[in-house]
C-alpha cells in the first residue's frame, strides 16, 4: 500500500465524517468548525492530485479567510443558539429529501460520465505532465494570463462592484458626524459608548 | 521560458472599458471633491462615458471576429445591443439625477453602479464563452442588487434588495452548475470555438451523441439562470417585489437593461451555438414562453400598485420576446432585438412618469393615486397613456410593430399557435393597461396633494424623448428594423 | 534494519527523520528563546532575570515547563468542552507546520543521499507559509469563544479582525519577492540571493564613483537592498501576526486580563505559549530566508556543513532579539489605530510597491526608466517622512492626553 492511498483514506474519512457531523451539529460554532475541517481535508485532496496551488488557495481563502469571517460574525452576533424551528412552508422536508435524492442522482450520473471523460481526455495524466514542466504554479499562471485574460480582468471589475456596493449599503445615511468622519475612529467611539 | 501573450485587441470590449474607466474616475472625483450641494459634474461625466461607449460600439459595427482568445465576439449583434444599452443607461442616469436630487441622496456611487451595470450587460451581449457570460451576469446583477436597495431609508427598498439578492444568487448558482455540466458533457465552455480550443458544439460532435442527456440537462440549467434575469415564469417570483421596492428610475433600468442583456445571452446561446440542437431545447423554451405570457398577463390584471402592474407586464413581455427566440431564424432574432429596444425605451418612459408622480420617498404608486390624473397633469397623463398603449401593442405605436415582427417570425417557422397564444394574452394584457387609463381619465381625484412634485428638466426630457421614440418607431419602423436585420447578418460569426 | 529501510524506502525515512529533527529543534529553540527574552528584558529594565536553575538560569524555562505540565488540568464550567481542548493544539500545530518550508542549511550528502535542510521544498513554499499563518487564527478565536467568558471572547473577536487584516498585508508584501525571484519556492529564493552583488554598472565611466562602486563586490546579494519596502511591511505585519507587542491586543493584560487565554492554565496554557514563540521563530526565519539570504554567508573548509546552519540561526537570533526589543520598548496600539495602520497604510503601500517592482522588473524597460522610478519613489518616501504623519506618530507614542480627551467626550 503506497502512502498516497493511506493519505487518501484518512482524508476521505475526515472530509466525509466532518461534513456529516456538520449537518448534525447543533451549535453554530461547531458547524463552522466542521466546515473548516472539511475545507482543510479538501486541500489535502488537491495536494494528492498534484494541484498544489489550488490546495494552498483553498486553505488561505476558504479555511483561512472566509471561515474566520463566519466565526467572527457568529461570535459577534451571538447566534450560537439553536434557532426556533417553525417552518413557514409546510411539507418542505419531504420536498427537500426528494430534491436531495434527485441531486445525488445527478451527481452520480455526472461522476459516472466524468470517469469516461478522464480516461479519454487524459485528465490526471495531463496534470502530472504540467506539474513536471513547467510546474503547477507556472502552468496555471500561463493559462490565466493568456487564454483566460479577459475573465480574469472581468473578475476584478466584479470585485470592485461588490466593494462599492457594500460601501453604499453599509454607509449610514447622513449619520456621519463631522467629528468621527474626520478622525476616522467611530469604532472606538462606539466601543466606549457601549 | 517567456509567456506567450496572445494578441490583445480591444475593439470588442472598448465600450465596456470606457464605461468602467469612467465609473472609476467618477468614484474618485466624487471622493476627492466631497459632499457639495450641486454635483452636476457626476451625471455629466457619466453621460460622457456612455457617449464614448456608443462611439466605440459604432466603431466596431461591421467587423465580425472573435477577440481575446475567443472570449468575446465582435459582431453587429453585440454592437446593436451595446448601443441600445448605452441609450438606456443615458436615460437612467438623467432620470436618476432628478430622482436623487429630489430625495436629497445624491451619491456618486449611484452613477458608478449604473455604469458598471451597463458595462456588465454589454459584456453579456458580446460574451463568446460561458465563463464570460457568467462573470458579466454577476457584475451587472451585483450592481443591480445594490441599486434596488439604494433608498436606504425605505424598508421596502431594503426588503426588495434582499429578496432580489437571495433569489438572484440562487439563480446564478443554477447557471454556474449549468456551465459545469456543459464542461462535463463536452469539455469546453466556448460558444464558438476556434484556434484557441474547440467550442461546445464542435466538441460535442467530436465526442459523439452519447452525452446528449447531460448537455440537455446543462442547457436547462443555463436557461433557468438566464430566465431569471429576463423574468420568465416560473423564475419570475422576484420581479414584482424588486420592481416595487426599487427606486423608480432603477426599476425602469432593470426592466429595460436586464431584459435585453439576458435575452442577448440567450439568443447567442440558443439561436447560434445550440442551433443544431434546436429540436431539443425548443419544447422546454416553448413551455416557458407560454407560461410566461399567460401568467404575466393574468396576474397583472389584479394588481393595484402601478409598479407591480408594470412588473407583471414586463414578465408578459419577456414571453413575447421568447416567441422570436423560439423561431430562431433571422427574422426572429432581429425581431427580438427590435422588440427589446423599443420595449426598453417605452418602459423607461413609463417609469419616468411613475418616478415623477410618485413624489417624495417614492410613495404614491397605487392606482388610487392616479385618479383623475388627466385633469390634474394632462401632459404627464398623456405621455403615460402613450406608453401604456405601446406596451399593449396598439397600432401607431412601436409596441405594435414589435409584436408584429416577433409573431410573424414564429408563424414563418410554423409556430402559428404560439402566435395565437401571444395575441390572446396581449388582449388580456390590454385590459389592465386600459384599467389604468380608465382610472386616469374617468375617475375623480380624491384628495389634493399636500406637496406637488414638479418634473425636473431632465425627467421631462427623458419622457419627451421616450414618447417621441415610441411614436416615431410606431410610424417609421423601417430604419431600425433594417439595422436590426443587418445586425443578425454576421451574427453567426465563427 | 537495512531491510526495513529498503522496505519503506529511503525517501520516507529521510522525511520522517527531518520532521523529527525539526520538531525537537524547535522545542529546544523555544526553551532558549523564552530564557533569552526574560534575560534581555531584565537587562533592559535593570534587573537580573532568571538565575537560579542552571548556568545563567538557562534551565528556568524547562523548570517552568515541568511545573505547568504537572499542574491540575481544569476547565471552566461554562466552557465548550471539545473546542476548549482543541484550541491550544490548533494554535501550536500550524506554527510548527509553517517551519516546514524554511531552509535552514545547505545541501549535504549523507550515506549517498543528498539531503536538504528543509522539511519539504514545496513549489508553493510562500503560499504554504501564508496558509499556515491563516490557520493560526483558529486557535485564538476558538480559545476565546470556548472559554465561555467575556474577556476571552473580546480578545478572540479582536484577534480574528486583526489577524485577517494583517494577513492581507503580509501576503501582499511577499508578492514582490515572488516577482523578482520568479518562484514561490523558498529554496529557489535563497538560491537567488546567493553570492555578492557584482554587476553594478550604474556608475561605469564616472571616474570616482566607478571605484567606489567596487565595494558592491563585497556586499551580499540579498533582497533587502532592493526590496526594503516589502521587508518593512512584512516585518510589521509579521509582528502583528504573532500577537506580540505592540500588537498584542488579543491578550492586552491591562484591558482584557490576558484575553483569549484568561481561562487557560497548566499544559494547555503552555501550548499557547509554545505556539506563540514558535511563531516568532518562524516569522524571524522567514524574514531571514526571504530578505537576508537565508543560510548563505561566508563558509570555511573547516566543517563545511556547519557554517550555513550557523549563519541561518545567527540571523534568525538577531530577529528574535528585535522582537524582544520591541516588546520592551513600544506600548500597545489602540485598536482603531491598529486597523488604520493595517488597512490604510500597509495595504496601499504594499500594493504600490508591487506595482513599482513590476514596472522596474519588466524586461525592455530602459535603465533610465528604472532610475526614474526609484528616484520618484525615494522622493515620495522623503516627502512623507519629512512631513511626518501625525497619526503614525500617535499610533506608536503614549496616548495619555488623547485618551483623557476621548473619555471626557464619551462621558458627555
Of the two residues C373 and B179, the one the predictor is more confident about is: B179
The CA distance from B5 to the nearest CA of chain A, in Å, is: 6
Given a contact cutoff of 8 angstroms between Cβ atoms, the answer to whether C278 and C71 are in contact is no
**Nearest CB to A3; choose among C12, C163, C406:** C12
Per-residue pLDDT tens over the stretch B45-59: 999 999 999 999 998
Radius of gyration of chain B (CA): 22
Rounded distance between C-alpha atoms, residue A15 and residue A26, angstroms: 19
Phi-psi region of C182 (alpha: psi -120 to 50; beta: other; left: phi over 0): left
Of the two residues A7 and B295, the one the predictor is more confident about is: B295
The CA distance from A134 to the nearest CA of chain C, in Å, is: 11
Of the two residues C358 and B452, the one the predictor is more confident about is: C358
Given a contact cutoff of 8 angstroms between Cβ atoms, the answer to whether B93 and B46 are in contact is yes
Q: Which residue of A has its CA nearest to C136?
A: A64
Q: What is the ipTM of this complex?
A: 0.89
* Interface check A56 vs C, CB under 8 A: yes
What 3-state class would DSSP assign to A111?
helix
Rounded distance between C-alpha atoms, residue A20 and residue C25, angstroms: 39
Q: What is the pLDDT of residue C154?
A: 82
Which of A 87-126 lie inside 8 A of C, CB atoms? none
Neighbouring chains to B with at least 3 Cβ pairs closer than 8 Å: A
What would the DSSP string read from start to end of C116-129? Answer: -SSS---TTHHHHH
Asked if A60 lies within 8 A of C171 by C-beta distance, the reply is: yes
Asked if B136 lies within 8 A of A160 by C-beta distance, the reply is: no
Torsion B407-B408-B411-B416 (CA) sign = positive
Mean per-residue pLDDT of chain A: 75
Q: Residue C80: its chain A contacts at CB < 8 A? A: 27, 29
Rounded distance between C-alpha atoms, residue C187 and residue C204, angstroms: 33
As a whole number, mean pLDDT of residues B109-131 equals 93
Burial class from Cβ neighbours inside 10 Å (0-12, 13-18, 19+) for residue C153 reads buried
Phi-psi region of A103 (alpha: psi -120 to 50; beta: other; left: phi over 0): alpha
Radius of gyration of chain C (CA): 23
Q: Is the pLDDT of residue C191 over 70?
A: yes
Per-residue pLDDT tens over the stretch A165-175: 988 888 765 54
Going by pLDDT thresholds of 50, 70 and 90, the confidence category of residue A155 is very high
Which of C 136-155 lie inside 8 A of A, CB atoms? 137-138, 141-142, 144-145, 153
β-strand B72-74 against C108-110: which pairing, if any?
Answer: unpaired
Of the two residues C396 and C238, the one the predictor is more confident about is: C238
Given a contact cutoff of 8 angstroms between Cβ atoms, the answer to whether C176 and C191 are in contact is no
Same domain, A49 and A100: no
**Listed residue (C84, C78, C250, C233) closest to C149, CA to CA:** C78
What 3-state class would DSSP assign to A194?
coil
Same domain, A108 and A146: no
**E strand or H helix at B201:** helix B200-207
Q: What is the pLDDT of residue C406?
A: 46
**Listed residue (C312, C263, C279, C249) closest to C103, CA to CA:** C312
Residue C223 sits at φ, ψ, to 5 deg, of -75, -15
**Listed residue (B151, B135, B9) closest to B74, CA to CA:** B9
Per-residue pLDDT tens over the stretch A85-129: 666 677 788 888 888 898 888 778 767 766 555 444 445 566 666
**Listed residue (C122, C268, C272, C257) closest to C186, CA to CA:** C122
Say which range, B333-337, B466-470, C204-208, has the weakest mean pLDDT.
C204-208
* Chain A interface test: which of C87, C129, C131 (most A C-beta within 10 Å): C131
Q: What is the pLDDT of residue C263?
A: 76
Q: What is the pLDDT of residue B1?
A: 46
Domain tally, chain A: 3
Given a contact cutoff of 8 angstroms between Cβ atoms, the answer to whether C225 and C197 are in contact is yes
Q: Which residue of A has its CA nearest to B143?
A: A161
Same domain, A4 and A75: yes
Q: Is the pLDDT of residue C399 over 80?
A: no
Q: What is the pLDDT of residue B52?
A: 94
Q: Residue A63: its chain C contacts at CB < 8 A? A: 131, 134-135
Per-residue pLDDT tens over the stretch B62-77: 888 888 888 888 888 8
The CA distance from C253 to the nearest CA of chain A, in Å, is: 18
Asked if A161 lies within 8 A of B142 by C-beta distance, the reply is: yes
Given a contact cutoff of 8 angstroms between Cβ atoms, the answer to whether B260 and B341 are in contact is yes
How many C-beta atoms surround the C-beta of residue B334 within 10 A? 27
Q: Is the pLDDT of residue B15 over 90?
A: yes
Residue B72 sits at φ, ψ, to 5 deg, of -130, 135
Of the two residues B470 and C118, the one the predictor is more confident about is: B470
Rounded distance between C-alpha atoms, residue B322 and residue B332, angstroms: 9
Same domain, A74 and A26: yes
Given a contact cutoff of 8 angstroms between Cβ atoms, the answer to whether C156 and C249 are in contact is no
Rounded to the nearest angstrom, the gap between the alpha carbon of residue C63 and the centroid of all alpha carbons in its chain is: 27
Q: Which residues contact C189 (CB under 8 A, 6 or more apart)?
A: C125, C126, C177, C181, C183, C223, C289, C290, C294
Q: Residue C135: its chain A contacts at CB < 8 A? A: 40, 59, 63-64
Q: What is the pLDDT of residue A92?
A: 80
What 3-state class would DSSP assign to A68?
helix
Which residues span the domain enclosing A176? 132-194
**Nearest CB to C164; choose among A43, A68, A76:** A68
Torsion C396-C399-C402-C403 (CA) sign = positive
Going by pLDDT thresholds of 50, 70 and 90, the confidence category of residue C366 is low
DSSP state of B190: B
C-alpha cell at C242: 504573532
Mean per-residue pLDDT of chain C: 78
Q: How many CB pairs under 8 A join A and B?
A: 95
As a whole number, mean pLDDT of residues B389-394 equals 90
As a whole number, mean pLDDT of residues C347-354 equals 84
Given a contact cutoff of 8 angstroms between Cβ atoms, the answer to whether B313 and B429 are in contact is yes
A87 belongs to a structural domain:
no
Per-residue pLDDT tens over the stretch B126-140: 898 999 999 999 999
Same domain, A120 and A67: no
Which of C 4-63 lie inside 8 A of A, CB atoms? 12
Q: Residue B4: its chain A contacts at CB < 8 A? A: 142, 146
Residue B213 sits at φ, ψ, to 5 deg, of -60, -45
Rounded distance between C-alpha atoms, residue B47 and residue A2, angstroms: 65
Q: What is the pLDDT of residue C4?
A: 56
Of all residues in chain B, what percent carry a pLDDT higher than 70? 94
Per-residue pLDDT tens over the stretch C132-178: 888 888 888 888 888 878 788 888 888 888 888 888 899 999 988 88
Neighbouring chains to A with at least 3 Cβ pairs closer than 8 Å: B, C
Of all residues in chain B, what percent carry a pLDDT higher than 90? 40
Of the two residues C353 and A123, the one the predictor is more confident about is: C353
Q: What is the pLDDT of residue A136?
A: 76
* Interface check C340 vs A, CB under 8 A: yes
Residues belonging to chain C: 412
A188 belongs to a structural domain:
yes
Q: What is the pLDDT of residue C410?
A: 41
Can you name the residues that pair with B293 across neighbouring β-strands? Answer: none
As a whole number, mean pLDDT of residues C65-81 equals 82
C-alpha cell at B92: 437612467
**Listed residue (B220, B218, B56, B225) closest to B133, CA to CA:** B225
Per-residue pLDDT tens over the stretch B204-220: 777 665 567 778 888 89
Rounded distance between C-alpha atoms, residue B156 and residue B246, angstroms: 8
Rounded distance between C-alpha atoms, residue C91 and residue C135, angstroms: 8
Same domain, A18 and A60: yes
Rounded distance between C-alpha atoms, residue C35 and residue B258, angstroms: 66
* Chain C interface test: which of A41, A47, A60, A73 (most C C-beta within 10 Å): A60
Which spans in B267-329 are helix H? Answer: 278-300, 306-327
A53 belongs to a structural domain:
yes
Strongest mean pLDDT among B152-166, B309-323, C133-147: B309-323
The secondary structure of C141-187, three-state, reads HHHHHHCCCHHHHHHHHHHHHHHHHHHHHHHHHHHHHHHHHCCCCHH
Given a contact cutoff of 8 angstroms between Cβ atoms, the answer to whether C323 and C207 are in contact is no
DSSP state of B391: H
Same domain, A102 and A71: no
Burial C350-386 (b: 16+ CB within 10 A, else e): beebbebbeebeeeeeeeeeeeebeeeeeeeeeeeee
A27 belongs to a structural domain:
yes
A184 belongs to a structural domain:
yes
C-alpha cell at B402: 414589435
Q: State the residue for C-alpha cell 558592491.
A: C216
Amino acid at each position: 500500500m503506497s502512502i498516497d492511498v493511506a493519505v487518501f483514506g484518512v482524508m476521505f474519512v475526515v472530509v466525509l465524517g466532518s461534513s456529516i457531523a456538520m449537518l448534525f451539529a447543533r451549535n453554530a460554532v461547531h458547524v463552522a468548525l466542521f466546515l473548516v475541517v472539511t475545507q482543510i481535508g479538501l486541500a489535502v485532496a488537491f495536494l494528492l492530485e498534484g494541484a498544489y496551488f489550488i490546495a494552498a488557495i483553498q486553505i488561505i481563502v476558504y479555511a483561512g479567510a472566509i471561515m474566520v469571517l463566519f466565526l467572527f460574525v457568529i461570535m459577534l452576533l451571538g447566534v450560537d443558539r439553536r434557532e426556533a424551528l417553525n417552518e413557514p412552508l409546510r411539507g418542505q422536508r419531504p420536498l427537500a429529501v426528494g430534491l436531495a435524492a434527485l441531486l445525488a442522482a445527478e451527481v452520480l450520473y455526472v461522476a459516472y460520465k466524468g470517469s469516461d471523460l478522464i480516461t479519454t481526455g487524459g485528465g490526471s495524466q495531463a496534470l502530472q505532465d504540467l506539474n513536471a514542466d513547467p510546474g503547477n504554479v507556472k502552468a496555471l499562471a500561463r493559462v490565466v494570463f493568456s487564454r483566460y485574460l479577459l475573465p480574469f480582468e472581468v473578475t476584478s471589475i466584479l470585485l470592485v462592484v461588490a466593494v462599492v456596493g457594500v460601501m453604499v449599503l453599509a454607509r449610514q445615511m447622513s449619520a456621519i458626524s463631522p467629528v468621527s468622519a474626520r478622525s476616522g475612529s467611530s469604532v472606538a467611539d462606539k466601543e466606549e459608548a457601549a | 521560458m517567456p509567456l506567450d501573450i496572445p494578441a490583445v485587441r480591444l475593439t470588442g470590449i472598448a465600450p465596456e472599458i470606457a464605461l468602467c474607466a469612467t465609473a472609476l474616475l467618477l468614484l474618485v472625483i466624487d471622493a476627492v471633491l466631497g459632499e457639495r450641494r450641486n454635483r452636476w459634474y457626476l451625471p455629466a461625466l457619466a453621460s460622457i462615458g456612455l457617449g464614448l461607449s456608443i462611439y466605440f460600439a459604432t466603431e466596431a459595427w461591421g467587423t465580425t471576429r472573435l477577440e481575446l482568445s475567443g472570449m468575446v465576439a465582435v459582431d453587429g449583434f453585440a454592437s446593436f445591443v451595446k448601443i441600445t444599452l448605452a441609450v438606456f443607461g443615458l436615460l437612467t442616469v438623467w432620470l436618476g439625477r432628478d430622482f436623487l436630487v429630489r430625495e436629497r441622496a445624491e451619491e456618486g456611487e449611484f452613477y458608478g453602479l449604473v455604469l458598471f451595470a451597463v458595462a456588465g450587460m454589454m459584456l453579456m451581449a458580446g460574451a463568446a464563452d460561458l465563463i464570460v457570460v457568467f462573470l458579466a451576469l454577476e457584475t451587472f446583477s451585483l450592481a443591480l442588487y445594490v441599486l434596488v436597495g439604494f433608498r436606504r431609508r425605505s424598508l421596502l427598498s431594503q426588503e426588495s434588495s434582499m429578496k432580489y439578492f437571495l433569489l438572484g444568487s440562487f439563480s446564478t448558482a443554477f447557471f454556474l452548475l449549468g456551465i459545469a455540466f456543459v464542461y462535463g458533457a463536452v469539455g469546453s465552455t466556448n460558444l464558438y470555438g476556434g484556434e484557441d480550443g474547440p467550442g461546445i458544439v464542435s466538441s460535442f460532435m467530436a465526442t459523439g451523441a452519447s452525452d446528449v442527456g447531460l448537455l440537455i440537462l446543462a442547457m436547462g440549467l443555463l436557461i433557468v439562470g438566464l430566465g431569471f434575469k429576463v423574468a420568465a415564469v416560473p423564475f419570475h417570483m422576484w420581479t414584482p417585489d424588486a420592481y416595487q421596492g426599487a427606486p423608480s428610475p432603477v426599476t425602469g433600468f432593470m426592466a429595460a437593461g436586464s431584459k435585453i442583456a439576458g435575452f442577448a445571452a440567450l439568443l447567442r446561446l440558443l439561436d447560434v451555438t445550440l442551433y443544431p440542437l434546436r429540436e431539443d431545447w425548443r419544447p422546454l423554451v416553448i413551455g416557458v414562453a407560454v407560461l410566461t405570457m399567460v401568467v404575466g398577463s393574468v396576474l397583472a390584471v389584479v394588481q393595484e400598485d402601478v409598479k407591480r402592474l408594470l412588473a407583471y407586464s414586463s414578465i408578459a413581455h419577456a414571453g413575447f420576446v421568447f416567441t422570436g427566440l423560439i423561431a430562431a431564424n433571422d427574422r426572429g432574432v432581429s425581431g427580438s432585438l427590435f422588440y427589446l429596444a423599443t420595449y426598453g425605451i417605452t418602459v423607461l418612459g413609463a417609469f419616468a412618469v411613475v418616478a415623477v408622480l410618485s413624489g417624495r420617498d417614492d410613495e404614491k404608486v397605487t392606482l388610487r393615486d392616479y385618479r383623475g390624473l388627466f385633469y390634474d397633469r394632462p401632459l404627464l397623463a398623456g405621455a403615460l397613456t402613450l406608453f401604456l398603449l405601446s406596451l399593449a401593442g396598439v397600432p401607431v405605436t412601436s409596441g405594435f410593430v414589435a409584436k408584429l415582427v416577433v409573431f410573424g417570425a414564429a408563424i414563418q417557422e410554423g409556430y402559428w399557435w404560439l402566435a395565437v397564444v401571444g395575441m390572446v394574452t396581449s388582449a388580456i394584457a390590454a385590459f389592465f393597461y386600459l384599467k389604468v387609463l380608465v382610472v386616469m381619465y374617468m375617475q375623480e381625484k380624491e384628495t389634493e396633494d399636500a406637496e406637488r412634485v414638479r418634473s425636473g428638466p431632465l425627467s421631462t426630457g427623458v419622457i419627451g424623448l421616450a414618447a417621441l421614440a415610441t411614436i416615431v418607431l410606431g410610424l417609421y419602423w423601417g430604419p431600425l428594423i433594417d439595422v436590426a436585420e443587418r445586425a443578425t447578418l454576421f451574427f453567426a460569426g465563427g | 534494519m537495512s531491510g526495513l529501510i529498503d522496505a519503506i524506502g529511503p525517501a520516507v525515512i529521510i522525511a520522517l527523520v527531518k520532521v523529527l529533527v525539526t520538531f525537537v529543534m524547535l522545542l529546544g529553540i523555544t526553551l532558549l528563546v523564552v530564557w533569552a527574552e526574560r534575560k534581555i528584558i531584565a537587562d533592559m529594565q535593570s534587573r537580573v532575570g532568571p538565575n537560579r536553575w542552571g548556568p545563567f538560569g538557562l534551565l528556568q524555562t524547562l523548570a517552568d515547563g515541568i511545573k505547568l505540565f504537572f499542574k491540575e488540568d481544569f476547565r471552566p464550567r461554562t466552557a465548550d468542552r471539545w473546542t476548549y481542548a482543541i484550541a491550544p493544539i490548533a494554535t501550536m500545530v500550524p506554527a510548527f507546520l509553517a517551519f516546514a518550508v524554511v531552509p535552514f542549511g545547505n545541501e549535504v550528502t549523507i550515506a549517498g543521499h543528498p539531503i536538504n535542510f528543509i522539511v519539504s521544498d514545496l513549489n508553493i513554499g510562500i503560499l504554504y507559509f501564508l496558509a499556515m499563518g491563516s490557520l493560526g487564527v483558529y486557535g485564538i478565536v476558538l480559545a476565546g469563544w470556548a472559554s465561555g467568558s467575556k474577556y476571552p471572547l473580546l480578545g478572540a473577536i479582536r484577534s480574528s479582525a486583526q489577524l485577517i487584516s494583517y494577513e492581507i498585508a503580509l501576503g501582499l508584501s511577499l508578492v514582490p519577492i515572488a516577482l523578482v525571484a520568479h518562484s514561490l519556492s523558498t529554496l529557489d529564493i535563497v538560491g537567488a540571493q546567493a553570492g555578492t552583488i557584482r554587476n553594478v554598472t550604474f556608475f561605469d565611466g564616472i571616474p570616482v564613483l566607478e571605484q567606489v562602486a567596487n565595494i558592491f563586490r563585497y556586499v551580499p546579494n540579498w533582497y533587502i537592498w532592493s526590496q526594503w519596502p516589502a521587508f518593512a511591511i512584512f516585518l510589521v505585519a509579521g509582528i502583528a501576526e504573532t500577537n506580540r507587542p505592540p500588537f498584542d491586543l488579543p491578550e492586552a493584560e491591562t484591558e482584557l486580563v490576558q484575553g483569549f487565554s484568561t481561562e487557560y492554565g497548566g499544559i494547555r496554557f503552555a501550548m499557547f505559549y509554545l505556539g506563540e514563540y514558535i511563531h516568532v521563530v518562524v516569522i524571524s526565519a522567514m524574514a531571514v530566508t526571504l530578505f537576508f539570504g537565508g543560510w548563505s554567508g561566508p563558509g570555511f573548509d573547516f566543517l563545511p556543513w556547519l557554517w550555513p546552519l550557523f549563519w541561518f540561526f545567527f540571523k534568525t537570533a538577531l530577529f528574535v532579539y528585535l522582537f524582544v526589543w520591541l516588546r520592551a520598548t513600544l506600548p500597545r496600539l489602540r485598536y482603531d489605530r491598529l486597523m488604520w495602520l493595517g488597512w490604510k497604510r500597509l495595504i496601499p503601500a504594499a500594493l504600490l510597491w508591487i506595482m513599482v517592482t513590476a514596472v522596474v522588473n519588466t524586461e525592455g524597460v530602459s535603465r533610465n526608466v528604472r532610475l526614474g522610478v526609484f528616484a520618484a519613489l525615494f522622493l515620495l518616501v522623503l516627502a512623507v517622512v519629512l512631513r511626518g504623519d501625525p497619526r503614525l506618530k500617535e499610533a506608536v507614542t503614549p496616548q495619555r492626553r488623547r485618551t483623557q480627551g476621548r473619555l471626557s467626550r464619551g462621558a458627555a
